[in-house]
Amino acid sequence: MLDWVKSFRKTEPPPIVAPERIVRVGCPAHNCGGRCLLKAHIRGGKITQLETDDRPDLIAAPQLRACARGRAYLRRQYHPDRLQYPLKRIGKRGAGKFTRIAWDEALDRVVAQIRRVKETYGNSAIFVPYGTGSYNQLNGSPTVRRLMNLSGGHLTFYNSYSWGAINTATPYVYGTLKTGNQRQDWLNSKYILMWGWNPAEMRDGTNSDFFVKLAREKGARVVCIDPRHTLSAAALADEWIPIRPGTDVAMMTAMAYVMLTEELCDEEFIRTHCVGFDQTQMPQGVQSAESYADYVLGVHDQVPKTPAWAETITGVPVETIARIAREYATIKPGVLYQGYGMQRRAYGEEVVRAGCVLAAITGNVGVSGGWASGLGLPAPDGGAFRSTFPIGQNPVKATIPVFLWTEAILRGREMTRADGVQGADKLDNDIKLIYAAATNILINQHANVNRNARILQDESLVEFIVAQDNFLTPTARYADIVLPVCTQFEMWGVEDGWKFGDEVILMPKLVEPLGESKSDYRICAEIAERLGIAEAYTEGRDERQWVEWLLNRYRESCFPDLPSLDEFEKSNIGVFANAVTEPAIAFADFRADPQAHPLDTPSGKIEIFSARLHAMQNPAIPAVPKYIEEYSSPSQKYPLQAIGHHTLARVHSTHDNNDWLAEAFPQRVFINPLDAGPRKIHDGDLVKVWNELGAMILPCRVTKRIMPGVVDIPQGAAWTPDENGIDRRGNINVLTSERWTPLGFASTQQTILVQIERAES
Ligand SMILES: Nc1nc2c(c(=O)[nH]1)N[C@H]1C(S)=C(S)[C@@H](COP(=O)(O)OP(=O)(O)OC[C@H]3O[C@@H](n4cnc5c(=O)[nH]c(N)nc54)[C@H](O)[C@@H]3O)O[C@H]1N2
Ligand SMILES: Nc1nc2c(c(=O)[nH]1)N[C@H]1C(S)=C(S)[C@@H](COP(=O)(O)OP(=O)(O)OC[C@H]3O[C@@H](n4cnc5c(=O)[nH]c(N)nc54)[C@H](O)[C@@H]3O)O[C@H]1N2
Ligand code: SF4
Ligand SMILES: [Mo]
């Protein structure tokens, strides 16, 4: 059995025992896309059973029902591989050889290295990477950011792996990320296009799938456009339209062609609320540039973007493209919801803008039952991630795009604004120390794992790495010191919604930390003490007192009726929700009066044509959204496209060692019979998947639920190289490239080409 997946012996189901107490507690969600409520049964200092929300279920404040991961959490909580003691590396970096050391020694070593790097290079050589392992606010990477900010600063990043291109592109069209109506309003929709969106598997806010289901029950037609027949396509949709990955903009453009030529656009709305649709409304100074209509009709390039043009690119039949265009333009109001997988691609910004343009030209913006597309943080205030543990001011002003940290190791001092550096003209250091808390990004979750491993192995580049985690993950294996962190059930915390969410969820401490593990907050407080900044760091508070402090912030901002911590705890209700009885509609005021309520774009209107992008004169970021063929297109050598969806089995790499979930959702590569047949691959065979960046061997699933020409390898499996460097678990990032998108410097981890064959063993 492989090291990482070495798990429990099969056992009899545990006996049912009467609990001593039952506590409602937030699920230790990690970055799972949801925030749900669990009911923990506790006996003899152990959690014996987990159930889920049993509060009344109201549309204005629905139950926060757990997914499979929350329900299977016990297996993670009491996993035999949980880290219990600090570890020091004894072999070569990355070899995975460690020895147990005492906390004092571990923390002294970490502090000595922080001091050394600060003195030798300066604070900007310290990097705290992206790490989404915990949102309970007192565990996770923000605790380290506070520590570093108070001790002179550190190099930070902007943007995320999740929403890199969509965060950047949405404001170019709308001037804001708050482009979504509150979800209760979906019940007023007549048509829902789930475009690369799979809320039944990838949680996108607890209950998003539930609201789509309710909308459909009320009569909305639901269509799913995805290369995979997802669980959303199966359970929520009336129709599934498979599309070649990376070609959505071609279909969107052809839909605009149908709307234009059949006069289905909302001309009045375009005239009053948009710029750059056609030659009549081009911005000052660029009147002769190509408008959106010019591009769609092929005025400049002589290529009309007809459904026939798009069929050859997308694989979607002409009639289907035309019909979906007519449906979306006439069955109103309608929602075109864009998933994030298709923007994690070579030209990810284009698909975001093209989707927004369809919403705009059909007049679905600013109306109940409609949806503006783009990121869709809910109006009026953006919804989730409302209150965070205060990380303080960072004295180091330079920040890098989140996806470019390996560049900042290799050539930090050469990086300038042209490389996406913000806050300063250039970096003054290469990264020399990495403090990795609640993250598997250093190895597993960043693109091109084999390259990451080579970079981190070289101790002349990054000189010291410390990792804080619950497990010895692929990232932790590359650390010099590993510090064991307790789980959310073993400490006090509080969380709020993921993208959508009008709740504050309490996370009381249920049981004692396992072994010698401690919370991230406690570890940082002990380091702060050694650095002489204990008082500044803790402000005299322990975790529970910080929860009280955070509840006060929530009460001041969005939850005026939030009870005190004592009352909240005593009530054992677990959740405080703001009921949404009148869902907010994004852009309602702009729709009613665009002069009085202009958008935060240069023109004050919806920018179908962006003068700012036009000024950049970069064909990879045209002024109107265009279909651009990806740099890697199927070739003879690598004829298959690969994608890696966010699976129900895991939160990224978190839970990959949970055998309950692995039994329900085994890690496999999904392949269509038309691709498997000629390769003599049968269902369940071990197969090798590879490209020029790396290779893996894993079992396959032959199924028509993935379209021909595409294979799917659920993202997040823990990198497990054999002696030949071939990954044996199926980590898709051995096949992904570290190239970034042209505008947002964002992840392109879905643009992948591979070959596949039967493997002998
Ligand atoms: N179960 C689960 N849920 C999660 C997470 C998790 O790890 N597990 N992670 C959470 C986080 S942090 C995030 S950022 C979100 C991520 O959310 P997303 O990025 O939206 O999730 P993905 O599964 O990558 O992509 C969604 C769908 O897009 C499809 N797709 C991929 N490429 C294309 C394309 O080119 N065109 C079209 N039309 N479809 C395409 C995939 O097949 C998939 O069904 O999920 C959140 N929810
Ligand atoms: N190919 C490909 N790669 C991707 C994606 C993709 O779609 N395709 N998705 C990307 C996206 S959207 C995201 S958000 C990233 C996510 O990447 P990461 O943020 O690295 O997420 P995880 O892999 O879940 O790693 C989180 C780690 O935190 C640990 N942890 C959990 N709780 C705690 C805690 O309380 N304290 C501490 N210290 N540790 C804790 C977990 O054990 C786990 O090792 O991955 C990205 N990578
Ligand atoms: S969606 Fe997230 S918070 Fe909800 S049960 Fe699943 S893992 Fe837990
Ligand atoms: Mo994400």
Q: Are strands 686-690 and 695-702 parallel, antiparallel or unpaired?
A: antiparallel
What one-letter code names the amino acid at 80?
Answer: P
- Report the C-alpha gap between 671 and 683 in whole angstroms: 9
**750 C-alpha vs ligand 4 centroid, how far in Å?**
13
Q: From the CA of 29, give the closest atom in ligand 3.
A: 3
471 close to ligand 2 (CB < 6 Angstrom): yes
Q: 173, 292 in Cβ contact below 8 A? A: no
Atom of ligand 1 nearest to the CA of 712: 42
End-to-end alpha carbon distance in the chain: 14
What are the beta bridge partners of residue 366?
none
Mutation probe of ligand 1 site: the residue of 73, 166, 643 with most atoms within 8 A of C-beta: 643
- pLDDT for 760: 82
Å from CA of 669 to ligand 4 middle: 21
Residue 744, number of CB atoms within 10 A of its CB? 26
Encoded tokens for 618 = 């970069």
For ligand 3, is residue 37 a contact (CB within 6 Å)? Answer: no
Q: Considering the entire predicted model, what is its pTM?
A: 0.96
| Residue with CA nearest ligand 3 atom 6 | 67
Instruction: Judge contact between 748 and 741, C-beta under 8 A.
Output: yes
How is residue 513 written in tokens? 């930390």
Of 652, 653, 719, 749, which is best to mutate to test ligand 2, by the most ligand atoms within 8 angstroms of its C-beta?
A: 652
Shortest-distance Cα residue to atom 4 of ligand 3: 36
> On the CB side of 217, how many CA atoms lie within 13 Å of its CA?
7
Mean pLDDT by 10 residues, the chain (761 residues): 44 73 95 96 96 94 97 97 98 96 98 98 98 94 98 98 98 98 98 98 97 98 98 98 98 99 98 98 95 98 98 98 98 98 98 98 98 97 84 97 98 98 98 98 98 98 98 98 98 93 95 98 98 98 98 93 97 95 97 98 98 97 98 86 98 97 97 98 98 98 98 98 98 98 98 96 69
> For residue 642, which of 584, 685, 694 has the smallest C-alpha distance?
694
Residue 3 confidence (pLDDT): 45
- The predicted pLDDT at position 754 comes to 98
> H helices of 248-386, where?
248-261, 267-273, 292-297, 307-314, 318-330, 348-361
Cβ pair 367, 333 in contact under 8 A: yes
pLDDT in tens, 214-226: 999 999 999 999 9
Distance of CA 159 from the midpoint of ligand 3 (Å): 23
Ligand 2 contacts CB of residue 751 (under 6 A):
no
How many A from CA of 285 to the centre of ligand 1? 40
Per-residue pLDDT tens over the stretch 647-695: 999 999 999 999 999 999 999 999 999 999 999 999 999 999 999 999 9
Give Cα separations from 575 to 28, 489, 549 (angstroms).
Answer: 14, 16, 17
DSSP for 662-710, written as a single string? HHHS---EEE-HHHHGGGT--TT-EEEEE-SS-EEEEEEEE-TTB-TTE
DSSP-derived 3-state class of residue 617: coil
Closest ligand 3 atom to the C-alpha of 35? 3
Q: How far apart are CA 95 and CA 477, in angstroms?
A: 7
Helix, strand, coil fractions of the chain, as percent rounded to 5:
30, 20, 50
Task: Give Cα 625 distance to the centre of its chain.
Answer: 23
466 three-class SS = strand
Atom number in ligand 1 closest to CA 652 = 7
Only one residue has tokens 């903009």, namely 249
Q: In whole angstroms, what is the distance from residue 144 CA to residue 137 CA?
A: 11
Distance (Å, whole) CA 420 – CA 730: 32
The residues facing 500 across adjacent strands are 498
Cα-based distances in Å from 563 to 156, 551, 581: 35, 8, 21
The ligand 2 atom nearest the CA atom of 732: 1
Q: Give the number of other CB atoms < 10 A from CB of residue 370.
A: 27
Q: Ligand 2 atom closest to Cα of 487?
A: 35
> Phi/psi zone of residue 302: left (φ > 0), alpha (ψ -120 to 50 degrees), beta?
left
Using only the alpha carbons of the chain, give its radius of gyration: 26
Please indicate whether residue 70, judged by its CB atom, sits closer than 6 Å to ligand 3.
yes
Mutational pocket test of ligand 1: of 209, 645, 667, the residue with most ligand atoms within 8 Å of the beta carbon: 645
* Nearest atom (ligand 3) to Cα of 71: 5
- 476 and 484 in contact (C-beta within 8 Å)? no
DSSP string, 145-194: HHHHHHTT--BEEES-SSSHHHHHHHHHHHSSS--B--GGGGGG-SEEEE
Task: At 500, give phi and psi (nearest 5°).
Answer: -100, 165
Helix (H, G, I), strand (E, B) or coil at 518: strand
Task: Say what the pLDDT of residue 636 is.
Answer: 87
CA–CA distance, 48 with 50 (Å, rounded to integer): 7
Q: Which amino acid is at 364?
A: N
Paired residues of 257 in beta bridges: none
| Residue for token pair 């959505």 | 248
Beta bridge partners of 228: 706
Ligand 2 pocket test, pick from 470, 490, 645, 732 with the greatest ligand atom count within 8 Å of Cβ, gives 470
For the CA of 70, the nearest ligand: 3
The residue among 327, 370, 346, 305 whose CA lies nearest residue 225 is 327
Buried/exposed code over 5-30 (b: 16+ C-beta within 10 A; e: otherwise) = bebeeeeeeeeeeebeeebbbbbbbb
Residue 7: predicted pLDDT: 46
